Amino acid sequence: MKIGFIGLGIMGAPMALNLKAAGHELFVPDRHSLTPELRAAASAVLTDAAAVAEAAEAIILMVPDTPDVERVLFGAHGVAEGLHPGKLVIDMSSIGPMETKDFAARVAKYGCEYLDAPVSGGEVGAKAASLTIMVGGPDAAFERARPLFEAMGKNITHVGPENGAGQTCKVCNQIIVALNIQAVAEALTFARKAGADPARVRQALMGGFASSKILEVHAERMINRTFKPGFKVKLHQKDLNLALSAAREMGMALPNTAVAQQMFSSVVAHGGAELDHSALVQAVEAMAGL
């Protein structure tokens, strides 16, 4: 397929390259940040999002937040200006489910299909083409996009035929990941405060019921103090804001999610917005006097 890809950052760049490696044509907008590798991989580097949409059969977005998606889709020289009936728009960003429904309805007026397909797996998963992909949208559109998802991920689930279902699933994912990061951070800080070696504690726990992907990957980052972002604190903070905002609308409480959000806010307040979300441990350590 002819693929337009907009949002070539930490996650988007390797995802786009995996599509190219799978044999798809790649069309990208010209940006100063565009790497030589991406320039070489692209069939064409075009002036703006409208030109990318005009050239492509399917347009993929991978940008930071809800306002960014709206701007890329419907702003000046945005995707909408290049849409024609039959094109497919796939938003792989992590944004609000309710806004997603609105964007899908607006895209449908152009005679185009829309899928929300947020991902989990971070930079490592993006590079390895092993992302978990959670998809909301019509069955036919999902089947059309399946080869694209298979080039970027391994665990691909069509959550439901309604737009917004994928984004709802991603919010659930981010709640679970955040609470697991907080649990691991508290456990390792407890070990350190009590005089035990956190690295050996982690090693022991990896063989028991407490074992998890977070303990495997993020605990190692916490121990080695390697907070180069695979997924930034400020982005996870944004995702928890989506969860808490939706919970208020539904009249329900997410008490532990709210605590995790405050811990991320503490990291941000101390200048850590751009760090990996495993840096939540810094807030726990500060409260422990370490």
Q: Which residues are identified as catalytic?
A: 170
147 Cβ contact list (under 8 Å, min separation 6) = 1, 22
**C-alpha torsion sign, points 252, 238, 221, 152:** positive
Dist CA 4 CA 161 (whole Å)? 23
Of the candidates 218, 258, 264, 239, the one whose C-alpha atom is nearest the C-alpha of residue 64 is 239
Write the single-letter amino acid at 214: I
Write the burial class of residue 224 (CB in 10 Å: 0-12 exposed, 13-18 middle, 19+ buried): exposed
